[in-house]
Amino acid sequence: MKTRLVALALSVLPPAALAAQDHSAHGQPAGPTAPKLHPLTGVVVEVMAEKQALLVKHDEIPGVMRAMTMMFRVEAGVLGQVKKGDAIKAQMGRNEENRWILRDVQVVAAAK
């Protein structure tokens, strides 16, 4: 009986509720789910040392976010390792303050 109820609940859940998370409204509250990381590629538009952040023009992250330019908090050590114009890859997620962050930032092509 219990199994049947779970199956029923799942079948009732509209697929749209699971997909289509457009993060154009940055800073919206995170859901109750555990923090998730998404692979990201993009180009550093600006190193914002005073905010310990990078302004990054990132490619589309399918199912998560359209291509756009936005700010990401990074670990302090990253600031000295990237520069304006560098192409990077990283893992995108949110920190405890619900701000967008990048982890595992790697330069894949240095600015010319």
Minimal distance, residue 76 CB to Cu ion, in Å = 22
Name the CA dihedral angle for 24, 27, 29, 32, rounded to a multiple of 10 degrees.
80
**What residue has token string 């310990």?**
52
CA atoms within 13 A on the CB side of 33: 7
Question: In the beta sheet, which residues pair with residue 87?
Answer: 43, 109
d(CA 105, CA 75) in angstroms, rounded, equals 9
Please report whether residue 82 would count as binding Cu ion according to CB under 5 A: no
Minimal distance, residue 93 CB to Cu ion, in Å = 12
Q: Total residues contacting Cu ion (rule CB under 5 A)?
A: 3
Minimal distance, residue 59 CB to Cu ion, in Å = 10
**Closer residue to Cu ion in complex, CB, 7/63:** 63
Minimal distance, residue 66 CB to Cu ion, in Å = 7
Residues 52-81 interacting with Cu ion (rule: CB under 5 A): 65, 68, 70
d(CA 94, CA 97) in angstroms, rounded, equals 8
Which residues are at the interface with Cu ion (CB under 5 A)? 65, 68, 70
